[in-house]
Chains A and B, each alone.
Chain A
Amino acid sequence: MITYPRPSDYAPAPSLRIVGIGNAGVHLADRLVMSGAAGADVVVMNTDGQSLTSSIASQKLTLGPKVTRGLGAGGDPEVGYQAAQESLSEIRDAVKDVDLIFLCAGLGGGTASGIAPVVAEMARESGATVFSLVTTPFSFEGRRRNAQASEALTALANQSHAVLHFENDRMAELTGPRAGIEETFAVADETLISCVTSLAAILQGGVPMPVGLADLLCALGGGSARALFGHGAATGDNRAHEALEAALRGPLLDRGRLLNESHAIVAHLSGPASFSFAEVAAIMRGITKHVADSASVFFGVTTASDPAAPVQVTILGNYDRQSVEEAEAPVRSRTEAPAPTEKPDPKRRPAPTPESAPAVDESKPLFPEPAEPDEKPALAPRAVPVDPKPRPKIKPVAKPKQETLQFESVARGRFEKSEPTIVEGEDLDVPTFLRMRGKTD
Chain B
Amino acid sequence: MKRQDIFVGVEVGTTKVCAVVGESGRDGTLRILGIGMAPSRGVRKGEIVDLAIATECVHDALADAETNSDAEIVSVSVAVTGGHVRSFNSRGEIIIPDDRFEIDEEDVNEVAIKAREVNIPAGNHFLHSIIQHYFVDGQAGVLNPVGLMGRKVEADFHIIHGVKTRLQNTLRSIRENNIEIEEVVANSLASAQAALDEHQKELGAIVIDIGGGVTDYIVFEGGVVRYSGVLAVGGDHVSNDISMGLRIPLSRAERLKCEEGSAKIGSGSPGAKIVLKNDAGFSGKEIEREMLNTIIHARIREIFELIRRQIEKEITPHALGAGIVLTGGCSLMRNIKEVAESVFDLPVSLTRDAGVSGPKSVLNNPQYSTAIGLIKFAQAQRAEEEESGLLGSVVEKISGWFRRRN
Contact = CB atoms under 8 A, between A and B. Distances in A.
B240 interface: yes
A214 interface: no
Given A431-B241, A432-B299, A237 B233 contact: no
B112 to A, nearest CB: 31
B298 A421 contact: no
Interface string A402-441: 0000000001011100110101100011011110100000
B233 A428 contact: yes
B250 A414 contact: yes
Greatest chain B CB density within 10 A among A413, A432, A434 is at A432
A289 to B, nearest CB: 20
B298 A432 contact: yes
A172 B163 CA distance: 34
Greatest chain A CB density within 10 A among B233, B240, B295 is at B240
A432 B45 contact: no
Given A237-B309, A418-B44, A418-B45, A433 B237 contact: no
B312 interface: yes
A432 B299 CA distance: 5
A428 B245 CA distance: 15
Interface residues of B, number: 24
A431 B244 contact: yes
A429 B237 contact: yes
Contact of B45 (A411, A413, A419): A419
Interface string A285-323: 000000000000000000000000000000000000000
Interface in B223-276: 231-233, 236-237, 240-241, 243-245, 250
A433 B306 CA distance: 15
A433 B45 contact: no
B240 A433 contact: no
B294 interface: yes
Contacts of B298: 431-433, 436
Nearest to B82: A419
B83 interface: yes
B237 A428 contact: yes
A406 to B, nearest CB: 13
A339 to B, nearest CB: 54
Task: Please give me the 8 A-B residue pairs with the lowest Cβ-Cβ distance, nearest first.
Answer: A431-B241, A432-B298, A421-B232, A413-B240, A433-B298, A432-B299, A432-B302, A428-B233
Interface string A185-220: 000000000000000000000000000000000000
Contacts of A414: 236, 240, 243, 250
Nearest to A237: B309
A238 interface: yes
B23 to A, nearest CB: 39
Interface string B279-313: 00000000000000011001101100010010010
Contacts of B83: 419, 421
B295 A433 contact: yes
- Interface class of chain B by DSSP: helix
B50 to A, nearest CB: 12
A436 B301 CA distance: 12
A414 B253 CA distance: 12
A386 B250 CA distance: 50
Contact of A423 (B231, B236, B299): B231
A31 B295 CA distance: 53
B45 A431 contact: no
B245 A415 contact: no
Greatest chain B CB density within 10 A among A421, A433, A434, A436 is at A433
Contacts of A238: 309
A428 to B, nearest CB: 5
Contacts of A411: 244
A237 B245 CA distance: 30
B312 A428 contact: no
Contacts of A433: 241, 245, 294-295, 298-299
A415 B295 contact: no
Given A432-B298, A432-B299, A433-B245, A423 B45 contact: no
Contacts of A418: 44-45, 49
Given A419-B45, A429-B240, A433-B294, 9 more contacts: A413-B241, A413-B250, A414-B240, A418-B49, A421-B232, A423-B231, A424-B309, A431-B245, A436-B298
A433 B250 CA distance: 17
A428 B237 CA distance: 9
Contacts of B240: 413-415, 429, 431
Nearest to A413: B240
A431 B295 contact: yes
Interface in B54-90: 83
Contacts of B243: 413-414
